[in-house]
Structure 1
Amino acid sequence: MTSSRLDGTSALVTGGGSGIGLACARRLAADGADVMICGRTAERLQAAAKELGCRYVVADVVDEDQVAAAVRATAATSPLRAVIHCAGGTTSVGPIPQLDTAAWRDTLELNATGTMLVLKHSARLMARTGGGAFVAISSIASSNTHRWFGAYGVSKAAVDHLVQLGADELGGAGIRVNGIRPGLVRTELVAGITDPGPVLDDYLACMPLDRVGEPEDIAEAARFLAGPESSWITGQVVNVDGGHHLRRGPDFRAVFEPMFGAEALGGVIPEE
Protein backbone atom coordinates (compact mmCIF):
# COMPACT_ATOMS: atom_id res chain seq x y z
CA MET A 1 0.00 0.00 0.00
CA THR A 2 1.32 3.46 -0.93
CA SER A 3 2.18 5.59 2.07
CA SER A 4 0.26 8.83 2.42
CA ARG A 5 3.12 10.47 4.32
CA LEU A 6 5.57 12.85 2.65
CA ASP A 7 8.36 12.53 5.22
CA GLY A 8 11.86 12.86 3.84
CA THR A 9 10.80 15.02 0.89
CA SER A 10 10.73 18.73 0.23
CA ALA A 11 7.95 20.71 -1.41
CA LEU A 12 7.82 24.19 -2.91
CA VAL A 13 4.61 26.23 -2.83
CA THR A 14 4.65 29.48 -4.76
CA GLY A 15 2.24 32.15 -3.59
CA GLY A 16 2.37 30.33 -0.28
CA GLY A 17 1.90 33.32 1.99
CA SER A 18 -1.87 33.49 1.83
CA GLY A 19 -5.06 32.08 0.37
CA ILE A 20 -4.90 28.89 -1.67
CA GLY A 21 -1.11 28.75 -1.47
CA LEU A 22 -1.10 28.91 2.31
CA ALA A 23 -3.76 26.18 2.50
CA CYS A 24 -1.69 23.98 0.17
CA ALA A 25 1.45 24.52 2.23
CA ARG A 26 -0.42 23.70 5.42
CA ARG A 27 -1.76 20.48 3.88
CA LEU A 28 1.64 19.29 2.65
CA ALA A 29 3.27 20.10 5.99
CA ALA A 30 0.59 18.10 7.81
CA ASP A 31 1.76 15.00 5.92
CA GLY A 32 5.40 15.52 6.81
CA ALA A 33 6.84 17.40 3.83
CA ASP A 34 9.60 19.93 4.41
CA VAL A 35 7.74 22.87 2.89
CA MET A 36 9.26 25.99 1.39
CA ILE A 37 6.84 28.81 0.62
CA CYS A 38 7.77 31.64 -1.68
CA GLY A 39 6.26 34.94 -2.73
CA ARG A 40 7.07 38.61 -3.14
CA THR A 41 6.16 39.94 0.32
CA ALA A 42 8.60 39.05 3.09
CA GLU A 43 6.34 40.06 5.98
CA ARG A 44 3.48 37.86 4.78
CA LEU A 45 5.81 34.92 4.22
CA GLN A 46 7.35 35.32 7.65
CA ALA A 47 3.94 35.18 9.33
CA ALA A 48 2.89 32.14 7.34
CA ALA A 49 6.19 30.32 7.93
CA LYS A 50 5.91 30.95 11.67
CA GLU A 51 2.39 29.50 11.69
CA LEU A 52 3.35 26.40 9.73
CA GLY A 53 6.87 25.88 11.04
CA CYS A 54 8.17 25.83 7.48
CA ARG A 55 10.82 27.67 5.48
CA TYR A 56 10.31 30.66 3.20
CA VAL A 57 12.13 32.48 0.44
CA VAL A 58 11.29 35.79 -1.18
CA ALA A 59 11.03 35.30 -4.93
CA ASP A 60 9.13 36.80 -7.84
CA VAL A 61 8.06 34.05 -10.26
CA VAL A 62 8.75 36.24 -13.30
CA ASP A 63 12.40 36.66 -12.26
CA GLU A 64 14.22 33.60 -13.56
CA ASP A 65 17.25 33.93 -11.30
CA GLN A 66 15.03 34.22 -8.23
CA VAL A 67 12.98 31.20 -9.30
CA ALA A 68 16.09 29.09 -9.84
CA ALA A 69 17.45 30.10 -6.44
CA ALA A 70 14.15 29.28 -4.72
CA VAL A 71 14.08 25.82 -6.28
CA ARG A 72 17.67 25.13 -5.22
CA ALA A 73 17.00 26.32 -1.68
CA THR A 74 13.93 24.08 -1.42
CA ALA A 75 15.92 21.00 -2.36
CA ALA A 76 18.86 21.79 -0.05
CA THR A 77 17.46 19.73 2.83
CA SER A 78 15.80 16.76 1.07
CA PRO A 79 14.78 15.67 -2.44
CA LEU A 80 12.28 17.94 -4.13
CA ARG A 81 9.23 15.81 -4.88
CA ALA A 82 6.35 18.30 -5.11
CA VAL A 83 5.80 21.79 -6.47
CA ILE A 84 2.44 23.50 -6.17
CA HIS A 85 2.45 26.66 -8.22
CA CYS A 86 -0.18 29.05 -6.87
CA ALA A 87 1.38 32.43 -7.67
CA GLY A 88 -0.66 34.41 -10.16
CA GLY A 89 -3.10 37.25 -10.60
CA THR A 90 -4.20 39.95 -13.00
CA THR A 91 -4.22 43.67 -13.61
CA SER A 92 -6.00 43.31 -16.96
CA VAL A 93 -9.77 43.99 -16.97
CA GLY A 94 -12.29 45.63 -19.24
CA PRO A 95 -13.83 45.32 -22.71
CA ILE A 96 -11.34 44.22 -25.36
CA PRO A 97 -11.39 47.54 -27.28
CA GLN A 98 -10.39 49.33 -24.07
CA LEU A 99 -7.79 46.93 -22.67
CA ASP A 100 -4.55 48.40 -21.41
CA THR A 101 -1.78 46.73 -23.39
CA ALA A 102 0.81 46.98 -20.61
CA ALA A 103 -1.55 45.34 -18.12
CA TRP A 104 -2.28 42.61 -20.69
CA ARG A 105 1.41 41.87 -21.09
CA ASP A 106 2.06 41.95 -17.34
CA THR A 107 -0.74 39.45 -16.72
CA LEU A 108 0.50 37.08 -19.42
CA GLU A 109 3.99 37.37 -17.98
CA LEU A 110 2.86 36.61 -14.44
CA ASN A 111 0.55 33.70 -15.16
CA ALA A 112 1.96 32.06 -18.28
CA THR A 113 5.67 32.87 -18.15
CA GLY A 114 5.78 32.57 -14.37
CA THR A 115 4.37 29.05 -14.56
CA MET A 116 6.86 28.13 -17.26
CA LEU A 117 9.81 29.36 -15.21
CA VAL A 118 8.79 27.46 -12.08
CA LEU A 119 8.19 24.29 -14.10
CA LYS A 120 11.44 24.73 -16.04
CA HIS A 121 13.68 24.96 -12.99
CA SER A 122 11.87 22.48 -10.77
CA ALA A 123 11.78 19.93 -13.60
CA ARG A 124 15.51 20.30 -14.19
CA LEU A 125 16.19 19.46 -10.56
CA MET A 126 13.57 16.73 -10.16
CA ALA A 127 14.78 14.98 -13.32
CA ARG A 128 18.21 14.57 -11.71
CA THR A 129 16.89 13.30 -8.39
CA GLY A 130 14.21 10.73 -9.18
CA GLY A 131 11.25 12.71 -10.47
CA GLY A 132 8.35 14.38 -8.74
CA ALA A 133 5.01 16.13 -9.23
CA PHE A 134 4.16 19.63 -10.41
CA VAL A 135 0.68 21.05 -9.82
CA ALA A 136 -0.33 24.32 -11.46
CA ILE A 137 -3.23 26.32 -10.08
CA SER A 138 -5.20 27.55 -13.08
CA SER A 139 -8.77 28.91 -13.09
CA ILE A 140 -12.24 28.16 -14.37
CA ALA A 141 -11.71 31.35 -16.39
CA SER A 142 -9.40 29.33 -18.64
CA SER A 143 -12.23 27.13 -19.88
CA ASN A 144 -15.42 29.18 -19.38
CA THR A 145 -15.35 32.70 -20.74
CA HIS A 146 -15.38 35.40 -18.10
CA ARG A 147 -16.40 38.51 -20.00
CA TRP A 148 -14.30 41.61 -19.39
CA PHE A 149 -11.53 39.67 -17.64
CA GLY A 150 -8.98 40.70 -20.24
CA ALA A 151 -5.77 38.66 -20.21
CA TYR A 152 -6.62 36.57 -17.14
CA GLY A 153 -8.53 33.72 -18.76
CA VAL A 154 -6.24 33.78 -21.79
CA SER A 155 -3.15 33.46 -19.61
CA LYS A 156 -4.70 30.65 -17.56
CA ALA A 157 -5.59 28.80 -20.76
CA ALA A 158 -1.88 28.96 -21.55
CA VAL A 159 -1.20 27.39 -18.13
CA ASP A 160 -3.58 24.53 -18.97
CA HIS A 161 -1.79 23.84 -22.23
CA LEU A 162 1.60 24.01 -20.52
CA VAL A 163 0.37 21.35 -18.08
CA GLN A 164 -0.37 19.03 -21.01
CA LEU A 165 2.87 19.85 -22.80
CA GLY A 166 4.93 19.37 -19.64
CA ALA A 167 3.25 16.06 -18.86
CA ASP A 168 3.95 14.76 -22.35
CA GLU A 169 7.58 15.88 -22.40
CA LEU A 170 8.61 15.10 -18.84
CA GLY A 171 6.96 11.77 -18.15
CA GLY A 172 10.09 9.91 -19.19
CA ALA A 173 11.97 11.65 -16.38
CA GLY A 174 9.41 10.52 -13.82
CA ILE A 175 7.84 13.97 -13.55
CA ARG A 176 4.07 14.27 -13.47
CA VAL A 177 2.42 17.57 -14.38
CA ASN A 178 -1.20 18.31 -13.53
CA GLY A 179 -3.38 21.34 -12.93
CA ILE A 180 -6.41 22.49 -10.97
CA ARG A 181 -9.06 24.95 -12.12
CA PRO A 182 -10.59 26.51 -9.00
CA GLY A 183 -13.94 28.20 -9.17
CA LEU A 184 -14.90 30.97 -6.76
CA VAL A 185 -12.80 30.40 -3.64
CA ARG A 186 -13.04 32.49 -0.48
CA THR A 187 -9.75 34.41 -0.34
CA GLU A 188 -8.84 38.01 0.35
CA LEU A 189 -8.33 38.61 -3.38
CA VAL A 190 -12.04 38.09 -4.09
CA ALA A 191 -13.48 39.40 -0.82
CA GLY A 192 -15.87 41.78 -2.57
CA ILE A 193 -17.15 39.07 -4.90
CA THR A 194 -17.98 36.66 -2.09
CA ASP A 195 -19.97 39.35 -0.28
CA PRO A 196 -23.77 39.15 -0.76
CA GLY A 197 -24.84 40.78 -4.01
CA PRO A 198 -25.75 40.14 -7.65
CA VAL A 199 -22.34 38.75 -8.65
CA LEU A 200 -22.30 36.18 -5.86
CA ASP A 201 -25.93 35.29 -6.61
CA ASP A 202 -25.00 34.65 -10.23
CA TYR A 203 -22.01 32.51 -9.26
CA LEU A 204 -24.18 30.36 -7.00
CA ALA A 205 -26.84 30.02 -9.69
CA CYS A 206 -24.17 28.51 -11.94
CA MET A 207 -22.97 25.93 -9.38
CA PRO A 208 -24.66 22.54 -8.93
CA LEU A 209 -23.00 22.54 -5.48
CA ASP A 210 -24.09 26.06 -4.64
CA ARG A 211 -21.55 27.29 -2.16
CA VAL A 212 -18.36 29.31 -2.28
CA GLY A 213 -15.22 27.17 -2.24
CA GLU A 214 -12.70 27.28 0.57
CA PRO A 215 -8.91 27.25 0.15
CA GLU A 216 -8.88 23.83 1.80
CA ASP A 217 -11.03 22.44 -1.05
CA ILE A 218 -8.24 23.25 -3.48
CA ALA A 219 -5.51 22.14 -1.08
CA GLU A 220 -6.97 18.65 -0.77
CA ALA A 221 -7.00 18.21 -4.54
CA ALA A 222 -3.48 19.61 -4.85
CA ARG A 223 -2.22 17.30 -2.12
CA PHE A 224 -3.62 14.28 -3.98
CA LEU A 225 -2.05 15.31 -7.29
CA ALA A 226 1.27 16.10 -5.60
CA GLY A 227 1.53 12.82 -3.70
CA PRO A 228 2.22 9.16 -4.44
CA GLU A 229 -1.49 8.31 -4.42
CA SER A 230 -1.75 9.80 -7.95
CA SER A 231 1.39 8.16 -9.33
CA TRP A 232 -0.33 7.17 -12.62
CA ILE A 233 -2.04 10.50 -13.26
CA THR A 234 -0.46 13.16 -15.46
CA GLY A 235 -1.60 15.77 -17.96
CA GLN A 236 -4.92 16.36 -16.20
CA VAL A 237 -6.52 19.69 -15.37
CA VAL A 238 -9.13 19.04 -12.69
CA ASN A 239 -12.06 21.38 -12.09
CA VAL A 240 -12.55 22.03 -8.37
CA ASP A 241 -15.43 24.46 -8.62
CA GLY A 242 -18.68 23.02 -7.28
CA GLY A 243 -19.55 21.99 -10.85
CA HIS A 244 -19.49 25.57 -12.16
CA HIS A 245 -17.70 24.49 -15.36
CA LEU A 246 -20.84 22.60 -16.40
CA ARG A 247 -22.73 25.84 -16.95
CA ARG A 248 -21.36 29.27 -17.91
CA GLY A 249 -18.98 31.92 -16.73
CA PRO A 250 -20.22 34.46 -14.18
CA ASP A 251 -21.90 37.76 -15.00
CA PHE A 252 -19.80 40.66 -13.71
CA ARG A 253 -21.95 43.37 -15.25
CA ALA A 254 -22.75 44.85 -11.83
CA VAL A 255 -19.03 45.39 -11.22
CA PHE A 256 -17.87 46.56 -14.65
CA GLU A 257 -20.81 48.61 -15.91
CA PRO A 258 -20.10 51.49 -13.49
CA MET A 259 -16.47 51.40 -14.62
CA PHE A 260 -16.86 51.16 -18.39
CA GLY A 261 -20.51 51.88 -19.20
CA ALA A 262 -23.32 49.71 -20.53
CA GLU A 263 -22.51 50.39 -24.20
CA ALA A 264 -18.90 49.27 -23.83
CA LEU A 265 -19.95 46.05 -22.11
CA GLY A 266 -22.37 45.46 -24.95
CA GLY A 267 -19.61 45.54 -27.54
CA VAL A 268 -19.92 49.12 -28.74
CA ILE A 269 -16.46 50.27 -29.80
CA PRO A 270 -15.65 53.80 -28.64
CA GLU A 271 -14.62 56.34 -31.23
CA GLU A 272 -10.95 57.28 -31.37
Structure 2
Amino acid sequence: MLETSWLRAFAAFADHKSFTHAARALALSQPALHAQVHKLAEAVGAPLYRRVGRALVLTDEGERVAAFARRSLAQQAELVEGLRAGRSRSRVVLAAGEGAYLYLLGEAVQRSVRDARTPLELLVRDAAGTLSAVRTGEAHIGVLPLETRPPRLVVEPLARVGQMLVMPEAHPLAGKERVSLRDLEGASLVVPPGGQSQRVMLDEALRAARVTWEVAVEVRGWPLTLQFARLGAGLAIVNDFCRLPPGLVGRPMAGLPKHTYCAVRLSDAPLEGGVERVWKRLLTGGRGQTR
Protein backbone atom coordinates (compact mmCIF):
# COMPACT_ATOMS: atom_id res chain seq x y z
CA MET A 1 0.00 0.00 0.00
CA LEU A 2 1.32 3.43 -0.95
CA GLU A 3 0.94 6.00 1.81
CA THR A 4 -0.52 9.38 0.86
CA SER A 5 2.31 11.10 2.71
CA TRP A 6 4.85 9.31 0.51
CA LEU A 7 3.01 10.34 -2.64
CA ARG A 8 2.76 13.96 -1.49
CA ALA A 9 6.46 13.98 -0.64
CA PHE A 10 7.47 12.58 -4.02
CA ALA A 11 5.14 14.92 -5.92
CA ALA A 12 6.87 17.86 -4.24
CA PHE A 13 10.28 16.40 -5.03
CA ALA A 14 9.24 15.90 -8.67
CA ASP A 15 8.22 19.57 -8.81
CA HIS A 16 11.53 20.89 -7.50
CA LYS A 17 14.09 18.13 -8.27
CA SER A 18 15.64 19.20 -4.98
CA PHE A 19 15.21 17.78 -1.50
CA THR A 20 16.02 21.17 -0.01
CA HIS A 21 13.32 23.06 -1.92
CA ALA A 22 10.75 20.27 -1.68
CA ALA A 23 11.24 19.96 2.08
CA ARG A 24 10.82 23.72 2.46
CA ALA A 25 7.61 23.62 0.38
CA LEU A 26 6.17 20.87 2.60
CA ALA A 27 7.49 22.35 5.86
CA LEU A 28 9.40 19.13 6.52
CA SER A 29 12.99 18.43 7.42
CA GLN A 30 15.16 17.11 4.61
CA PRO A 31 15.81 13.79 6.41
CA ALA A 32 12.05 13.28 6.88
CA LEU A 33 11.35 14.01 3.20
CA HIS A 34 14.22 11.79 2.07
CA ALA A 35 12.92 8.95 4.26
CA GLN A 36 9.43 9.18 2.74
CA VAL A 37 10.78 9.15 -0.82
CA HIS A 38 13.01 6.20 0.10
CA LYS A 39 10.04 4.25 1.51
CA LEU A 40 8.07 4.92 -1.67
CA ALA A 41 10.97 3.66 -3.81
CA GLU A 42 11.17 0.52 -1.68
CA ALA A 43 7.42 -0.03 -1.98
CA VAL A 44 7.43 0.16 -5.80
CA GLY A 45 10.72 -1.72 -6.07
CA ALA A 46 12.49 0.71 -8.38
CA PRO A 47 14.77 3.75 -8.14
CA LEU A 48 12.74 6.93 -8.64
CA TYR A 49 15.55 9.38 -9.40
CA ARG A 50 19.22 9.45 -10.28
CA ARG A 51 22.01 11.97 -10.21
CA VAL A 52 23.32 13.41 -13.47
CA GLY A 53 26.27 15.64 -12.67
CA ARG A 54 24.98 17.99 -9.99
CA ALA A 55 21.32 17.57 -10.97
CA LEU A 56 18.71 15.07 -9.81
CA VAL A 57 16.49 13.70 -12.58
CA LEU A 58 13.57 11.30 -12.45
CA THR A 59 13.95 7.81 -13.83
CA ASP A 60 11.29 6.40 -16.16
CA GLU A 61 9.78 4.71 -13.10
CA GLY A 62 9.98 7.99 -11.22
CA GLU A 63 8.05 9.80 -13.97
CA ARG A 64 5.30 7.17 -13.78
CA VAL A 65 5.13 7.34 -10.01
CA ALA A 66 5.09 11.17 -10.08
CA ALA A 67 2.17 11.11 -12.53
CA PHE A 68 0.31 8.60 -10.35
CA ALA A 69 1.01 10.64 -7.21
CA ARG A 70 -0.30 13.87 -8.71
CA ARG A 71 -3.37 12.12 -10.11
CA SER A 72 -4.13 10.48 -6.76
CA LEU A 73 -3.71 13.71 -4.78
CA ALA A 74 -5.90 15.60 -7.27
CA GLN A 75 -8.63 12.96 -6.96
CA GLN A 76 -8.54 13.22 -3.16
CA ALA A 77 -8.82 17.01 -3.33
CA GLU A 78 -11.67 16.76 -5.83
CA LEU A 79 -13.54 14.31 -3.58
CA VAL A 80 -13.21 16.56 -0.54
CA GLU A 81 -14.32 19.63 -2.52
CA GLY A 82 -17.31 17.75 -3.88
CA LEU A 83 -18.40 16.61 -0.43
CA ARG A 84 -17.98 20.05 1.13
CA ALA A 85 -19.40 22.21 -1.65
CA GLY A 86 -21.84 19.78 -3.21
CA ARG A 87 -19.94 19.79 -6.53
CA SER A 88 -16.36 19.78 -7.68
CA ARG A 89 -14.58 21.35 -10.64
CA SER A 90 -11.48 19.45 -11.69
CA ARG A 91 -8.66 21.72 -12.83
CA VAL A 92 -7.09 20.98 -16.21
CA VAL A 93 -3.42 21.87 -16.72
CA LEU A 94 -2.19 22.56 -20.26
CA ALA A 95 1.51 22.97 -21.10
CA ALA A 96 2.84 24.59 -24.30
CA GLY A 97 5.26 27.20 -25.56
CA GLU A 98 4.47 30.90 -25.70
CA GLY A 99 4.26 30.86 -29.48
CA ALA A 100 1.81 27.95 -29.52
CA TYR A 101 -0.48 29.78 -27.10
CA LEU A 102 -0.33 33.01 -29.08
CA TYR A 103 -0.63 31.70 -32.62
CA LEU A 104 -2.02 28.15 -32.58
CA LEU A 105 -4.16 27.43 -29.52
CA GLY A 106 -6.04 30.67 -28.96
CA GLU A 107 -9.48 29.42 -30.00
CA ALA A 108 -9.30 26.21 -27.94
CA VAL A 109 -7.99 28.05 -24.88
CA GLN A 110 -10.66 30.75 -25.19
CA ARG A 111 -13.45 28.17 -25.38
CA SER A 112 -12.07 26.31 -22.37
CA VAL A 113 -11.72 29.48 -20.30
CA ARG A 114 -15.38 30.26 -20.98
CA ASP A 115 -16.40 26.81 -19.74
CA ALA A 116 -17.31 27.30 -16.06
CA ARG A 117 -17.00 23.55 -15.53
CA THR A 118 -13.31 23.49 -16.42
CA PRO A 119 -10.83 25.70 -14.55
CA LEU A 120 -7.80 25.89 -16.85
CA GLU A 121 -4.20 26.43 -15.80
CA LEU A 122 -1.61 27.25 -18.47
CA LEU A 123 2.06 26.32 -18.08
CA VAL A 124 4.50 28.06 -20.43
CA ARG A 125 7.30 25.61 -21.21
CA ASP A 126 9.68 24.87 -24.05
CA ALA A 127 9.33 21.56 -25.91
CA ALA A 128 11.45 19.56 -23.45
CA GLY A 129 9.69 21.13 -20.47
CA THR A 130 6.25 20.45 -21.97
CA LEU A 131 7.09 16.80 -22.57
CA SER A 132 8.43 16.43 -19.03
CA ALA A 133 5.34 18.12 -17.55
CA VAL A 134 3.05 15.61 -19.26
CA ARG A 135 5.17 12.55 -18.51
CA THR A 136 5.33 13.40 -14.80
CA GLY A 137 1.67 14.36 -14.49
CA GLU A 138 2.35 18.03 -13.85
CA ALA A 139 0.21 18.78 -16.92
CA HIS A 140 -2.74 16.77 -18.22
CA ILE A 141 -2.13 17.81 -21.83
CA GLY A 142 0.81 19.27 -23.71
CA VAL A 143 1.28 20.81 -27.15
CA LEU A 144 4.73 20.77 -28.74
CA PRO A 145 6.54 20.00 -32.00
CA LEU A 146 7.24 16.27 -32.35
CA GLU A 147 8.60 14.10 -35.12
CA THR A 148 8.65 10.79 -33.21
CA ARG A 149 6.13 9.25 -30.83
CA PRO A 150 7.49 9.11 -27.25
CA PRO A 151 6.56 6.06 -25.15
CA ARG A 152 3.59 6.14 -22.74
CA LEU A 153 1.90 8.97 -24.63
CA VAL A 154 -1.12 9.41 -26.88
CA VAL A 155 -0.03 11.74 -29.69
CA GLU A 156 -2.37 13.57 -32.08
CA PRO A 157 -1.03 15.93 -34.81
CA LEU A 158 -2.52 19.43 -34.80
CA ALA A 159 -0.65 21.45 -37.42
CA ARG A 160 2.22 21.23 -39.87
CA VAL A 161 4.24 24.43 -39.54
CA GLY A 162 6.97 25.74 -41.82
CA GLN A 163 9.67 28.39 -41.38
CA MET A 164 9.80 31.96 -42.65
CA LEU A 165 12.43 34.66 -42.79
CA VAL A 166 11.24 37.87 -41.13
CA MET A 167 12.69 41.27 -42.02
CA PRO A 168 11.78 44.97 -42.29
CA GLU A 169 9.69 45.86 -45.33
CA ALA A 170 12.59 47.84 -46.87
CA HIS A 171 15.08 44.94 -46.71
CA PRO A 172 16.38 43.78 -50.13
CA LEU A 173 15.21 40.19 -49.51
CA ALA A 174 11.65 41.41 -48.96
CA GLY A 175 11.28 41.62 -52.75
CA LYS A 176 11.72 37.87 -53.18
CA GLU A 177 8.76 35.49 -53.07
CA ARG A 178 10.87 32.80 -51.39
CA VAL A 179 14.34 32.84 -49.83
CA SER A 180 16.98 30.17 -49.51
CA LEU A 181 19.71 29.51 -46.99
CA ARG A 182 22.28 30.90 -49.43
CA ASP A 183 20.45 34.25 -49.29
CA LEU A 184 21.57 34.52 -45.67
CA GLU A 185 25.29 34.69 -46.47
CA GLY A 186 26.83 37.33 -44.19
CA ALA A 187 23.54 38.06 -42.41
CA SER A 188 23.10 38.96 -38.74
CA LEU A 189 20.35 36.83 -37.23
CA VAL A 190 18.19 37.09 -34.14
CA VAL A 191 18.30 33.51 -32.82
CA PRO A 192 17.42 31.44 -29.75
CA PRO A 193 20.17 30.65 -27.23
CA GLY A 194 22.51 27.76 -27.97
CA GLY A 195 21.07 24.35 -27.21
CA GLN A 196 17.46 25.31 -27.97
CA SER A 197 15.89 23.05 -30.61
CA GLN A 198 15.28 25.88 -33.10
CA ARG A 199 18.88 27.09 -32.70
CA VAL A 200 20.28 23.59 -33.18
CA MET A 201 18.24 23.19 -36.36
CA LEU A 202 19.43 26.54 -37.72
CA ASP A 203 23.07 25.89 -36.84
CA GLU A 204 23.03 22.52 -38.59
CA ALA A 205 21.20 23.75 -41.69
CA LEU A 206 23.40 26.82 -42.20
CA ARG A 207 26.55 24.80 -41.58
CA ALA A 208 25.47 22.20 -44.14
CA ALA A 209 24.76 24.97 -46.66
CA ARG A 210 28.20 26.53 -45.89
CA VAL A 211 26.60 29.86 -45.08
CA THR A 212 28.62 32.35 -43.02
CA TRP A 213 26.47 34.35 -40.62
CA GLU A 214 26.67 36.01 -37.23
CA VAL A 215 24.53 36.28 -34.12
CA ALA A 216 22.85 39.67 -33.76
CA VAL A 217 21.21 38.85 -30.43
CA GLU A 218 20.05 35.70 -28.63
CA VAL A 219 16.48 35.78 -27.28
CA ARG A 220 13.80 33.33 -26.12
CA GLY A 221 10.29 33.34 -27.55
CA TRP A 222 8.78 34.45 -30.84
CA PRO A 223 7.31 37.78 -29.60
CA LEU A 224 10.68 39.06 -28.41
CA THR A 225 12.39 37.68 -31.52
CA LEU A 226 9.96 39.61 -33.72
CA GLN A 227 10.42 42.76 -31.66
CA PHE A 228 14.19 42.74 -32.18
CA ALA A 229 13.68 42.10 -35.89
CA ARG A 230 11.28 45.08 -36.01
CA LEU A 231 13.91 47.24 -34.28
CA GLY A 232 16.41 46.32 -37.00
CA ALA A 233 18.73 44.24 -34.83
CA GLY A 234 18.84 41.48 -37.43
CA LEU A 235 16.83 39.07 -39.54
CA ALA A 236 14.85 36.32 -37.83
CA ILE A 237 13.67 32.84 -38.79
CA VAL A 238 10.44 31.89 -37.02
CA ASN A 239 7.55 29.46 -37.33
CA ASP A 240 5.25 30.65 -40.09
CA PHE A 241 2.21 30.62 -37.79
CA CYS A 242 3.55 33.80 -36.16
CA ARG A 243 1.53 36.96 -36.77
CA LEU A 244 3.86 39.75 -37.79
CA PRO A 245 3.68 43.27 -36.33
CA PRO A 246 3.45 46.27 -38.68
CA GLY A 247 6.67 47.05 -40.50
CA LEU A 248 7.77 43.43 -40.91
CA VAL A 249 7.31 41.01 -43.78
CA GLY A 250 7.81 37.25 -43.89
CA ARG A 251 9.00 35.10 -46.77
CA PRO A 252 8.88 31.28 -46.93
CA MET A 253 12.24 29.81 -46.04
CA ALA A 254 13.45 26.98 -48.30
CA GLY A 255 15.85 24.35 -47.02
CA LEU A 256 14.49 24.10 -43.48
CA PRO A 257 12.30 21.30 -42.13
CA LYS A 258 8.67 21.75 -41.14
CA HIS A 259 7.51 21.02 -37.58
CA THR A 260 4.48 18.96 -36.67
CA TYR A 261 2.80 20.37 -33.58
CA CYS A 262 1.04 17.66 -31.61
CA ALA A 263 -1.24 17.36 -28.62
CA VAL A 264 0.01 14.74 -26.14
CA ARG A 265 -1.32 13.09 -22.99
CA LEU A 266 -0.48 10.06 -20.89
CA SER A 267 -1.85 6.84 -22.36
CA ASP A 268 -2.63 5.36 -18.93
CA ALA A 269 -4.50 8.42 -17.60
CA PRO A 270 -8.29 8.44 -18.01
CA LEU A 271 -9.67 10.74 -20.70
CA GLU A 272 -12.76 12.11 -18.99
CA GLY A 273 -14.39 15.24 -17.64
CA GLY A 274 -12.57 18.51 -18.18
CA VAL A 275 -9.49 16.83 -19.66
CA GLU A 276 -11.62 15.23 -22.36
CA ARG A 277 -13.33 18.52 -23.17
CA VAL A 278 -10.05 20.43 -23.51
CA TRP A 279 -8.49 17.59 -25.52
CA LYS A 280 -11.35 17.57 -28.03
CA ARG A 281 -11.23 21.36 -28.38
CA LEU A 282 -7.53 21.22 -29.19
CA LEU A 283 -8.07 18.59 -31.86
CA THR A 284 -11.03 20.44 -33.36
CA GLY A 285 -9.24 23.79 -33.42
CA GLY A 286 -5.82 22.66 -34.58
CA ARG A 287 -5.92 19.44 -36.54
CA GLY A 288 -5.36 19.71 -40.24
CA GLN A 289 -3.69 23.12 -40.20
CA THR A 290 -0.82 23.30 -42.63
CA ARG A 291 1.34 26.35 -43.06
- In the superposition, the TM-score normalised over structure 1's length comes to 0.26
Question: Which structure: larger Rg?
Answer: 2
- The structure where strand makes up a greater share of residues is 2
- The structure where helix makes up a greater share of residues is 1
